[in-house]
Amino acid sequence: MIEIKNLHKSYEMGSSSLHVLKGIDFSVADGELVAIMGSSGSGKSTLLNILGMLDNSDQGTYDLDKIRIANMDEKKAANYRNKFLGFVFQSFNLINYKNALENVALPLYYQGISRKERQVIALNYLGKVGLKDWSSHLPSELSGGQKQRVAIARALASNPKVLLADEPTGALDSKTSMEVMALIQKINNEGKTILVVTHEQDIAEMCKRIVLLKDGVIVEDKKVKQNIIKNV
Amino acid sequence: MSSLKKIFDRDTWDEIFESISKNKTRTIITTIGVFWGIFIYIALAGSATGLENGFDDAFSGLSKNSMGVWAQRTSIPYKGFEEGRQPLFRLNDVDKLKSRIPEIEYISPGLQAGAFSGAPPLVTRGTRSDNFNVFGNFPVYAKISVIKIFDGGRYINEEDIKYERKVAVIGEGTQERLFTEGEDPLGKYIEINNVNFKVVGVTKFSQGSGFGSDSDITIPYTTFAKLYNRGDRYGFMFIAGYDYVNPNYLEETVMSNLKVLKTVSPEDDRAFGSFNIGSLFESIIKFTKGMVFLSLVVGIATIFAGVIGIGNIMLIAVKERTNELGIRRALGATPGEVKVQIVLESVFLTILAGIIGIIVGAFLLFVINIGTSGLEDFPFTNPTVPLAIVFGAFITMVTLGTLIGLIPAERAVSIKPIEALREE
Ligand SMILES: Nc1ncnc2c1ncn2[C@@H]1O[C@H](COP(=O)(O)OP(=O)(O)OP(=O)(O)O)[C@@H](O)[C@H]1O
Ligand SMILES: [Mg+2]
């Protein structure tokens, strides 16, 4: 599904430049649930953003589902993001003046799907994350866990090939973190490829594979026995 | 979907309505500038038209190329005449002037008691009496000034002149003061300076019938001349040129010919007084045209400022919404779609503000019109704004709204989606 080779990324800051990713080789197969770990500043978000086509790399190749992602113009990149990628952020990034249903329906709007159909699909995904009854609530009327579940529903709504989650539980307490991870496991079990950036060991152990980043390179990459969450 | 097609897509507008209606404060602040601009513009332009129409009405009763001339006193001794002489006209001057100036269509010599000449005479009927201006006119006067007579009555005619009849045409104000309500004055007698006159007509007063009031009394010229012993001399006449004649030319030609006829120095500008309706009208037209132009300039400038205000606030809004726009782009909005949305928001706000401004402005004009319609001496009628001008203002607004919207739109897509997302 994902195939990257010798990926480099530096940030230019005035005269100096910060080399963040120093040659990453990494591939993800269909249906995997991968945790990306590493200390703060090790480049986890940078990597995820490049995978999500929100940022460009300086060097190296990136193939997504056998399609070469290189030097795309923003328009094409937007279409790829829309069709292939779903995002979940630590800070939820819901649009504050849209209710839960409208937020979930937004990626479908950019796919040109009719309003009626959008609402049906969006409501279906809200049901999947257990928030059917909250569809008309604004983000400000939802708890953190509920907001993140709306964000996950939104990321899933366009039926992407890959779900990218940057510290999805970073702003949640441990109980709600469990709920969100249970949801991610469930979606993964249905066949979706998912990458999760996290700081927390226990969260990482709920995935099927852990990749450790250090100083811009992958220092460890291992399959783990998944800690399956039951009865939350 | 192409960006252009998005403009006609209902979903695009739903998005825009949502963004506009759920950010009310922003929307209101944004639109006030343009609203104010178009409001000022409509109110000013409408008022200018109202004044123009009002003056048009006020002068509608007088032929535009008519003039008045009267004898004053000479200021330069000339051909043996001392200065200070009053060069009064004689009735045979009418034909002399006409033969010298072929452009003249009518000449109406006039005598008056009261108004510009002496005290208004006492007019009595039964126990009621009052002072009124009395004019001696020929029937031709009615050709120069539009005179409306109430049903059943008539103006002075040639027979009245020929037989020096003691008949009078009175104003509606005169009727009010000398007759009881509901009484028909026609055929009744009034006394002017103790002489009985039979009322043959009542004139309807209208703004445009020249310089009189609603209570003037007109009697036959010949009767007046005999009664007040004026012989064939008179001091004032109305002159009307044919339609094609330039009123300024007419005035100059009449003045120079009168100087010859009455043996007045060509340099003597004080011997006669005169005015012409054309130039009076012209200066008023110039004034109202100036006002229309001024309102155009002020209006356009205010609209311009308003639209720039919209652009400014849109810029701030785009900055505020950086995160939202980043989310939209992460979810698959192309730069084109983001730009179209921002430009359309800007255009929509401009149009919304414009339409409200037009409606409120029109309402104000409507109220002013109703408020002034009762005022006879305030020249203000039908304050409308030509549709073409409203349309022009509209096009200007849309164009400016689009152009100004492009700036924040460009700004919004100039950064990478990830940078937009990082913004909180
Ligand atoms: N836009 C940027 N401009 C300059 N430097 C940046 C930028 N984004 C990230 N960096 C730097 O790149 C390095 C990697 O950042 P990144 O956000 O990928 O780290 P991370 O592993 O996600 O850390 P965290 O666990 O704290 O989220 C950091 O040193 C950071 O300061
Ligand atoms: Mg990070």
- The verdict on B98 and B115 lying in the same domain is no
pLDDT confidence bin for B1, thresholds 50/70/90: very low
Query: For B313-344, what is each residue's pLDDT tens digit?
Result: 878 878 888 888 899 999 999 999 889 888 88
Average pLDDT over residues A99-105: 95
Q: Which of A97, A102, A107 sits opposite B332 (nearest CB)?
A: A107
Average pLDDT over residues B301-324: 82
Q: Which of A49, A109, A154 sits opposite B418 (nearest CB)?
A: A49
- The verdict on B81 and B131 lying in the same domain is no
Among A40-44, B6-10, B105-109, B354-358, the range scoring the smallest mean pLDDT is B6-10
Q: Is residue A20 in contact with ligand 1, taking CB distance under 6 Å?
A: yes
Q: Which of A91, A102, A107 sits opposite B331 (nearest CB)?
A: A107
Ligand 2 centroid distance, CA of A39 (Å): 9
- The verdict on B315 and B198 lying in the same domain is no
- pLDDT > 90: what percent of chain B? 34
Interchain contact B312–A (C-beta under 8 A) = no
pLDDT confidence bin for B140, thresholds 50/70/90: very high
Among A61-75, A131-145, A197-211, B283-297, the range scoring the smallest mean pLDDT is B283-297
- The verdict on B143 and B262 lying in the same domain is no
Q: Is residue A24 in contact with ligand 1, taking CB distance under 6 Å?
A: no
Among A80-89, A121-130, B299-308, the range scoring the smallest mean pLDDT is B299-308
- Asked if residue B277 belongs to a domain, the reply is no
Q: Is residue A13 in contact with ligand 1, taking CB distance under 6 Å?
A: yes
Q: Residue B61 has what pLDDT?
A: 67
Chain B hits for A115, CB-CB cut-off 8 Å, are 10-11, 14
- The verdict on B264 and B371 lying in the same domain is no
Residue B63 has pLDDT above 50, yes or no: yes
- Asked if residue B64 belongs to a domain, the reply is no
- The verdict on B409 and B324 lying in the same domain is yes
Query: For A147-186, what is each residue's pLDDT tens digit?
Result: 999 999 999 999 999 999 999 998 889 899 998 999 999 9
Q: Which two tokens stand for residue B373?
A: 């319609």
Among B239-253, B348-362, B365-379, the range scoring the smallest mean pLDDT is B365-379
Kindly give the number of the ligand 1 atom that is closest to the alpha carbon of A199. Answer: 25
- The verdict on B260 and B303 lying in the same domain is no
- The verdict on B324 and B404 lying in the same domain is yes
Q: Is residue A14 in contact with ligand 1, taking CB distance under 6 Å?
A: no
Alpha helices in B321-386 (DSSP H): 322-330, 335-372
Chain B hits for A95, CB-CB cut-off 8 Å, are 324, 327-328
- Asked if residue B388 belongs to a domain, the reply is yes
Q: Residue B320 has what pLDDT?
A: 81
CATH topology of domain A2-223: Rossmann fold (3.40.50)
- The verdict on B87 and B115 lying in the same domain is no
- Asked if residue B65 belongs to a domain, the reply is no
* Three-state secondary structure call for residue A162: strand
**B155 phi, psi to nearest 5 deg:** -95, 175
C-alpha dist (Å) from residue A130 to A33, A87, B214, B260: 21, 19, 86, 108
- The verdict on B185 and B289 lying in the same domain is no
Q: B361 or B292: which carries more pLDDT confidence?
A: B361
SS (H, E, C) B80-116: CECCCCCCCEECHHHHHHHHHCCCEEEEEEEEEEECC
- Domain range for B251 is 73-103+245-270
Q: What residue spans define the domains of chain A?
A: 2-223
Domain count, chain B: 3
pLDDT confidence bin for B283, thresholds 50/70/90: confident
Alpha helices in A74-173 (DSSP H): 74-84, 100-109, 115-128, 144-157
- With contact defined as beta carbons under 8 Å apart, do A87 and A164 qualify? yes
